[in-house]
Amino acid sequence: MSIQDRYRLWSENSYFDEETRLELKNIIDPQEIEERFYTDLEFGTGGLRGIIGAGTNRMNKYVIRKVTQGLAECVCDQGEEGMKRGVVIAYDSRRFSPEFALEAALVLARNGIKVYLFEALRPTPELSFAVRYLQALAGIVVTASHNPKSYNGYKVYWEDGGQVPPAKADQILARINARESWLGIETLSVEEAKQLGLLQIIGQDIDEPYLARVHELVLYPELDKQKGKDLKIVYTPLHGAGNMLVRKALAELGFSSVTVVAEQEHPDPNFTTVPYPNPEIPATFELARKYGNNLEADLLLATDPDADRLGVALRTPEGDYVQLTGNQIGIILTYYILSQKKALGILPDNAAIIKTVASTDLADQVAQYFNVRAENVLTGFKFIAEKEKEMEEGGWGSFQFGFEESYGYLAGDFVRDKDAIIASVILAEAALYYQQVEKRNFFAVLDSIYQQFGYYLEDQESLTFEGKRGKEEIALIMDSFRNLDIHEMCGILIGRVDDYEQRMGKDLRTGENYSLKLPRSNVLRYSFAEGGFVMVRPSGTEPKIKFYFSVKGATLEEAEDLLHGVKEDVMFRIAKIRAGEL
């Protein structure tokens, strides 16, 4: 069908509700119609993410229906047992999240599939836990994570609690694409689904066993119980799903001095107090800082709308707050877990950590020091979860901790995705341990790590290119970098270049080519000879191209200068590429 045929179908056919048809008929800009209908919203990296609105390239209930019908057919392929095991559905605080979740539930029920639907918003990691705990075949979470308020999304999980693996995602996509018509996908009513036993509402019956497993991860429960009240924490859920579980998890362990940012405590789909609800950006901590200053809090914690990412800011001796990077949080947690498990005599001989290739190589150095295996995977927490499963099933590694630089962390074996509740608990305990036992704060801990292994500093830049033309711009930048023969950046020699799209690497010092074992992905990584890297890749969930920077210096000042220089070098190259000069 042409763009105009699609537009006429959606704006005229009575299958689409009056609100949808009216929204489309009121569009007067032909380019807006093209953007909404030139393609279908892409089912990639285990789900969808897009701007809310009417059209095939937008997030709406009809797109939800079509995608869910594809998933339903794959569930039905597993026979009656798979249909009885069913699908768990959770959602966050975004616009239409409850409605999209219910729409998916009722499409599944229409196909005879059992559905477990959370009674209210819940974190993404709890959805992962629930799939495993209920022994369901699959899971869905309606969320756009930390994206702007205009977005929503839909992520699919499989029976191990991890995001749907590539082979299964391909099967779902094939079913979605096989259905050419947007019409005729129907739902059951809520009453009928309940009467047939196909819709079960869940909530506290999942919360309690989930929190029980979270509590098992702490290393010093008696210290937490006795001294937890002495650690002053300010917490903001950023209007999202983390509020209840983060507070409950901390309180039950003994962290009773937790103050919630009242203005950001309750769900708000417009996220009115922040530019957008991403704990990576400093603006999300603006209100928390005010609370912290008034209370002289030790820690500021922020979770994103679906509570799978955690941001942290620390109180300085001068009374201000400094936000940690995702890599710094990951290093603190890695060091704390490995060092304290070793001290307690509970670090397994085959212990392993997992991180992404976009995350700091300092973690590899720390792991090596503790004689712990470090596995590197592609960007995206699903790959960390897949590697954890591979270790578990193969019996060749005992997973201790996993992280990615974009504020995602995981410990334990009962969740297969990044988990801000788990991270909040372990981080609070680590802060308490260093405060009470070693009489130092996280700044001192980080500095001692840097002194031992080198000053690694990281940063990231993202360029946003919306729509069809944006995709072409991103492709141009990637192709140009791939074709450039780059041997240094800001005078720092590059030791290796890894092209994960070609699954080939080259050692620039020897000229040797080698194969890469990780799956094919549109990623380029330039590793500096003396430590650190630059990495470039398009985002799998947003209209962005991302650049990751990591440098290693002998001192903090040297590392800061190197980081500034490398970033300037790369941004200059991008400007020349876009101007057609490279």
Positions annotated as catalytic residues are 145
- The secondary structure of residue 44, as a DSSP letter, is B
Q: Report the C-alpha gap between 258 and 267 in whole angstroms.
A: 19
Q: Which residue is it, tokens 């994570």?
A: 145
Q: Report the C-alpha gap between 299 and 289 in whole angstroms.
A: 10
Give residues with Cβ within 8 angstroms of 345, minimum separation 6. Answer: none
- Work out the burial of residue 108: count CB atoms within 10 Å of its CB; fewer than 13 is exposed, 13-18 middle, 19 or more buried: buried
Distance of CA 293 to the CA centre of its chain: 30
Question: What sign for the dihedral angle of Cα 334, 336, 337, 343?
Answer: positive
Would you say 467 and 459 are in contact if contact means Cβ atoms under 8 Å apart? no
Q: Report the C-alpha gap between 524 and 485 in whole angstroms.
A: 13
Q: Report the C-alpha gap between 88 and 235 in whole angstroms.
A: 28
Q: Report the C-alpha gap between 81 and 102 in whole angstroms.
A: 23
Q: At what angle do helices 420-436 and 243-253 cross, to 10 degrees?
A: 30
Query: Measuring CA to CA, which residue among 519, 482, 480, 517 is closest to residue 499?
Result: 482
The token pair at 99 is 């409605």
Give residues with Cβ within 8 angstroms of 320, minimum separation 6. Answer: none
- The secondary structure of residue 163, as a DSSP letter, is B
Q: Report the C-alpha gap between 508 and 481 in whole angstroms.
A: 16
Distance of CA 301 to the CA centre of its chain: 17
Q: Which residue is it, tokens 């919306």?
A: 466
